[in-house]
Structure 1
Amino acid sequence: MEIDWLTVSAQIVNFLVLVWLLKRFLYKPIIDAMDRRQKGIADNINEAKDRDHKAQLTMQDYENKIAALEQDKTKLMQEAEAAAQEKRLALEEAARKDVQQQKELWQKHLHQEQKNYLDDLSKTTVKAIQDTGRRVFSDLSDSSLETQIITVFLKRLHDLDDDLLKHLKASTSDFHIVSAFELEAPMKQKITQAIHKNINDSANVNYIVSSDLLCGISLDTGGYQVGWNIDEYLKEFDQRLLKSLNYNSDYESKTND
């Protein structure tokens, strides 16, 4: 059997033409479409990845903001608690000061009332002592209370200690005799003579009546003083009475507390 090379060649050419035609009009469009589809899929995947990345960033941003808000909330609550604590302490301090002021005011008022009471009591006591003394001295002897006071005063002038006597003799000031009652002329003369004899024979002696002196008499010169006064005994009486009042006041305060 003989081969028809012309027919074979024609068939080969026809096959090559068919392959080219298929490649040109069938395979290439399909491959291009597949490439475009693959590229589109890849683009979609990349876009999805981008969206996912952006979503992750957005979520992280939200989480950071939420964490910041939580921190701010905690900080604000701490600041609010600190402010409230500070306000509470300030109110407590103000209340404590107010209570202390009220207590001091009450104590001051109490002390003033005690002082007024003691002053009134002192005046009443002095008057009672004067009246009683006059009656006692009148009953026991013919001497008055004033005479007995002068007698005690003259004895003190005679029995001065050396240091005080030295200062009195060195004084260049007038000698002031202050009494709670008016002295009669003989009494003044007797006192002046005692001063000239015991202290200074050239001293100038003045006589003054003072209601501030409680039933007594004193010598004042150059800042030094010699005398006798019921007030000396009343001061001790006042101190004892005040101590008793303070004790009773403290006891009542503790009882009320």
Structure 2
Amino acid sequence: MRIDWWTLAFQTVNVLVLVWLLSRFLFKPVSKIMAQRQQAAAALMQDAAAAREAAERERKQAAEQTAALDAVRLQRLGEITSEAEQLRASQAAAARTEADAMRASAADEIERMREKAARENAARATEFAVEIASRLLSRLPSSALVEGFVGPLADAVSALPDDVRRQLGGQSDPLHLMIPRPLRDDEFAQCRAALADAIGRETQWQPEVDPGLIAGLELVAPHVVVRNSFRHDLETLKAELLSHDHD
């Protein structure tokens, strides 16, 4: 077999030209296009991955926000429940306190009414006793209404401070001598003599009848009153009885 070297060379050149043409106009553009497509695909994959990561982050954030909202809602619900319980407890305590206060007030009012009734009863009993004593004393003989009271009245005047007795003795106006009935001349003279000794000098007197004295004598001056009568004794007894009942 004989080889045609010119034909072989020509075919070789044709193959080389074809390879160059294919490389120049086909392989490089196709490679470039494939590279661009690979880059685009890689970019799409990166974008997809980034979008997926962003979506995952947003999902996690949404889940966290939802969990936080649920926690806040549960906390607020617990607070509202606690406040409601406290309000009910406070209202119940207030109701109990008000009821206790009303019971205490009612008890105090009942006690005040009882004490008032007791005082009124004691006052009526005391007044009744004093009235009975007054009626009994009013039945004393006429002579007994003055006798026996002159000396004690003079003693009470003698017990006054010296300056008070000097004022009594220096009165220009008559001193008032309260008497339960009109005095006889000898009784009036006895009173004047005893009181003059007690005061230390003679003094003008103006007798005034006051049946309310029941029995006894009272000296009335502008600056002093000396009492020695059953009325004064009964008033003192009544005050002591009422004071004892109040205690």
TM over 0.5: yes
Q: Secondary structure at the match of 2:203?
A: coil
Amino acid of the structure 2 residue aligned with 1:170: Q
Q: Are 1:177 and 1:217, in contact at CA under 8 Å, matched by a contact in 2? A: yes
Q: Secondary structure at the match of 1:207?
A: strand
Percent identity between the aligned chains? 11
The CA deviation string for residues 55-83 of structure 1, in whole angstroms up to 9 with x for no partner, is 33333333333444444445555555665
User: Where does residue 8 of structure 1 map in the other structure?
Assistant: 12
CA separation of 1:124 and 1:225: change in aligned 2, threshold 3 A: same
Is structure 2 residue 186 aligned with structure 1 residue 185? no
Amino acid of the structure 1 residue aligned with 2:208: Y
Q: Secondary structure at the match of 1:184?
A: coil
Q: Which has the higher contact order (CA 8 A, sep 6+)?
A: 2
User: Where does residue 38 of structure 1 map in the other structure?
Assistant: 42
The CA deviation string for residues 78-119 of structure 1, in whole angstroms up to 9 with x for no partner, is 555665566556555555554454444434433332332223
Q: How does 1:29-108 map to 2 (within 5 A)?
A: 29-76=33-80, 91=95, 94-95=98-99, 97-108=101-112
Q: Are 1:216 and 1:230, in contact at CA under 8 Å, matched by a contact in 2? A: no
Is structure 2 residue 155 aligned with structure 1 residue 159? yes
Q: Could you say which structure has the larger radius of gyration?
A: 2
User: Where does residue 121 of structure 2 map in the other structure?
Assistant: 117
CA distance in 2, matches of 1:39, 1:208: 137
Q: Are 1:126 and 1:215, in contact at CA under 8 Å, matched by a contact in 2? A: no
CA distance in 2, matches of 1:127, 1:14: 161
Q: Secondary structure at the match of 2:150?
A: helix
Question: How many equivalent pairs are there?
Answer: 232
Amino acid of the structure 2 residue aligned with 1:50: A
CA distance in 2, matches of 1:59, 1:17: 60
CA distance in 2, matches of 1:77, 1:10: 95
User: Where does residue 202 of structure 1 map in the other structure?
Assistant: 203
Where in structure 1 are there 5+ consecutive unaligned residues? 136-143, 247-257
CA distance in 1, matches of 2:103, 2:216: 45
CA distance in 1, matches of 2:46, 2:123: 112
Q: Are 1:150 and 1:217, in contact at CA under 8 Å, matched by a contact in 2? A: yes
User: Where does residue 129 of structure 1 map in the other structure?
Assistant: 133
Where in structure 2 are there 5+ consecutive unaligned residues? none
CA separation of 1:41 and 1:205: change in aligned 2, threshold 3 A: farther
Q: Are 1:175 and 1:219, in contact at CA under 8 Å, matched by a contact in 2? A: yes
Amino acid of the structure 2 residue aligned with 1:111: E
Q: Are 2:154 and 2:198, in contact at CA under 8 Å, matched by a contact in 1? A: yes
The CA deviation string for residues 33-67 of structure 1, in whole angstroms up to 9 with x for no partner, is 33322222221111121222223333333333344
Give the alignment's TM-score, normalised by structure 1: 0.65
> RMSD of the TM alignment (CA)?
4.0
Amino acid of the structure 2 residue aligned with 1:52: E
